[in-house]
Every structure is written in C-alpha cells, then in structure tokens.
Amino acid sequence: MKQSRNVSLQRFNTFGVPATASRVAQLSRVEDLARCTFMPGRDLVLGGGSNLLLTGDIEGTVFLNRMAGMRLLEDSHEGALVECASGELWHSMVLWSLAHGLCGLENLSLIPGLVGAAPIQNIGAYGVELSDVLVSVRCWDWLAGKPVEFTAEDCRLGYRTSRFKTDDANRFLVTSIRMNLARRFQPRLEYAGIEEQLGAMGVSEVTADLVSRAVIALRKRKLPDPALVGNAGSFFKNPAVTADLADTLKADFPTLPAYPAGDGRYKLSAAWMIDHCGWKGHRAGDAGVSDQHALVLVNHGTASGRELLELARRVAASVQDRFGVALEPEPVIVGAPWQESPDS
Ligand code: EPU
C-alpha cells in the first residue's frame, strides 16, 4: 500500500478547493484494508472526489480508492451478472458494459466519479437510477474489520441516498458492486431532452449506444465540465414536498416543474427555484452559481470550501424565504455541518 505525507487534495476533488491531508494511503486491493484503521471524523475515503466539498484540512488519513477490475460473472442470452471493483471510473464501466452488448446503464453515461460512490448515493440521471440494476454491494466493515455483502434491498437505496449515507455513514467502504444487465434493449426515453437529442442526431432506430451518446451530448451541453471549472454536479437535491404544498406553489408559480415522487409527495425542481431567485451566474469572489445550470455551484479559481459552503447556505436561505422549501445538499460536506448552529 503506497503512502505519503502532507498531500494537497486540490487535484483529488473536482471542486478544486485547497485542503491538505496529513497522510494519504492508496488502496489497490481488498486485502490492504485488513491492515488499516478508520476513524470517522478524522479519516476520509476518497473516490473520484466528484461529490464532496472539503471545508478544511484532513488531520488523519485519506484513503484513495484504486481498486480495479470488471468482469462478467454469469452470461446468457438474456443478460449478464457484472461485477465491478469500486475504484473503477463509473463512465468507463458504462462504456465497457455497452461494448459487451449489455444494456441498462446507457442513461447513466458520463456521470463523474468512481463505481464505489454509486451505491452510496444511488446515482441517477435521465429517468434511471443504480437501484434499477443493482444486485449486491460488497464492503469492508471498518468497525468489525471484515468484509460484508449487502443485497440491493439491504442497501436501503432512495433518491440520492442509502444506508451508507445515513445510518451507516462512514462504517463501510464499498469494495465492489454487482449488477444485472440485459441483452435486450429497453429504451427509457421519457426524461425531457432525450428524444429531442436523438432527433437532432438523426436517429431513426434507437439503440443503447445511441442513447448513451445522446446522454453524453446532453450532459456536455447542460453541465459545466469539472475539467474546465471546478464543480460537483448538482449541489442540491430536488426537494420532495407534500401534495398540498406542491398545489399551493403551483398556484403561485405555474411554471415550477413538479413530479410525483412515488410516495404521495411531489419532487420540485431545485434548479428552477434557485434560478427564479436570481442566482444563476451569481459570483461571490471565485465561488459562484453556474451560468449554465442553476443547481451547480462552481469554483472559478481560488474559492475555498468554506466560501462555497457559505454561498450554498445563502442560496438555500433565499429559496426557503421565497418558496418555504428547505434545500438539502447533495455532496458530502467534510469538516463542517450543513446547518450553521445558532451560536457559531
Ligand atoms: N431549470 C431551470 N434553470 C436551470 C436549470 C434547470 O429552471 O438553470 C429547470 C428546467 O425547468 C428543467 C428542470 O429545472 O426542466 C430540470 O432540470 P434538469 O433536467 O437539468 O434536471 P435537474 O433536476 O436539475 C437532475 C439531477 C442531475 C441529472 C439530471 C438529469 C438531481 C439533484 N440532479 O437535475 O444529476 O443529471 O436530473 O437526469 O437530482 C447530479 O446528481 O450531480 C446530477 C447532475
């Protein structure tokens, strides 16, 4: 296991904010884990760094996930059981599955980050979530010091959440995931924009590869590229509210997008509300709200994690004032609570 001291984490987080780790250890094999200890609040597991906001230095060890490998465990005319190590790039795995003639991940193309982060927040895009294909997740249990496997059901996946992000936050390190992928393509084209994009590409017969290409084009057009401007994708989740509140808001704001959340509540577009409050393109120093997509906070250069957090809190407060709706951050915030305590 390769280890280094006093390492800058700036290039390991897609916001590109400065932070230093006292120690960095690179995990390339599950066996490495038996020699490690992990203390929540002191240590940190880092995947692609695309879904976190660092607000200070890490006094303990940062574990960089470099576990690699993808394979077909079972293969038939209907489909395949695929296993992928958690340190692989999610998008590389999507392309690998498509190259093997397997369908199910095409709508999840180009999501940044590593495979290990996928079950933690049940990644989703364009009408599909990991929960649609996930079979099981293998983890290292830091507390018990041994491997453990969870069925997809045991993971308690929800909209951008799971047991790994809530009750069991920091207890498990995901080492690999297994998914059921199909040979027969079942298009999922309901999400706004996909059909239009396929039309613009002149597609007459839709395939999984073409949906993947359409999603890649859409994401490139709609979301700022972290290689060009620091960001962590959507900074806020789309809030779910009661049907009553959704009705009241729709009466006042008829163009506010609202979709049934499946549990009697309605999911509102956080981007629309933030946009409506006038934040799109706003800058406070180098911390900003993207002018491409109101849900994305960006680091124009030298913003610190604290400055981005401060801006995010102001954005959420203005949405709360205007719409009476609380926004919650999507990325993991390291080193500071989301809600400022009254005496801080
Ligand atoms: N909108 C605005 N202003 C904007 C952008 C969007 O008003 O600047 C409105 C539009 O009415 C648009 C609606 O918001 O129709 C929804 O926008 P979009 O289709 O981009 O979806 P989203 O709800 O903003 C979610 C995910 C994205 C995912 C897209 C596509 C969350 C928090 N975000 O965004 O995921 O790519 O749907 O499925 O659920 C991510 O998680 O990091 C992420 C990028």
How many alpha carbons lie under 13 Å from residue 110 in its C-beta half-sphere? 20
Q: Best of 212, 269, 275 to mutate for ligand 1, by most ligand atoms within 8 A of CB?
A: 269
CA of 224 to the centre of ligand 1 (A): 12
Can you tell me the distance from the alpha carbon of 287 to that of 304, in angstroms, rounded to the nearest whole number?
8
> Which is the closest atom of ligand 1 to the Cα of 290?
8
> Which is the closest atom of ligand 1 to the Cα of 233?
42
Active site residues: 160, 234, 330
Output the tens digit of pLDDT for each of the chain's 344 residues.
899 999 999 999 999 999 999 999 999 999 999 999 999 999 999 999 999 999 999 999 999 999 999 999 999 999 999 999 999 999 999 999 999 999 999 999 999 999 999 999 999 999 999 999 999 999 999 999 999 999 999 999 999 999 999 999 999 999 999 999 999 999 999 999 999 999 999 999 999 999 999 999 999 999 999 999 999 999 999 999 999 999 999 999 999 999 999 899 999 999 999 999 999 999 999 999 999 999 999 999 999 999 999 999 999 999 999 999 999 999 999 999 999 876 65
CA of 236 to the centre of ligand 1 (A): 10
pTM for this one? 0.96
Can you tell me the distance from the alpha carbon of 248 to that of 174, in angstroms, rounded to the nearest whole number?
42
Domain 70-182 annotated CATH 3.30.465.10: yes
DSSP label of 296: E
Residue 242: its pLDDT value, please?
Answer: 97
Can you tell me the distance from the alpha carbon of 177 to that of 132, in angstroms, rounded to the nearest whole number?
13
For the domain spanning 2-65, the CATH number is 3.30.43.10
Question: Is the CB of 234 within 6 Å of ligand 1?
Answer: yes
Question: According to DSSP H, which parts of the chain are helical?
Answer: 90-99, 118-121, 194-200, 208-222, 243-252, 270-276, 305-323
Backbone φ and ψ for 109, nearest 5 degrees, come out as -65, 150
| Radius of gyration, CA atoms only, the chain | 20
CA of 50 to the centre of ligand 1 (A): 17
List the chain domain ranges. Answer: 2-65, 70-182, 230-334
Strand ranges, E, within 142-276: 146-151, 172-182, 230-234, 240-241, 258-260, 266-268
For the domain spanning 230-334, the CATH number is 3.90.78.10
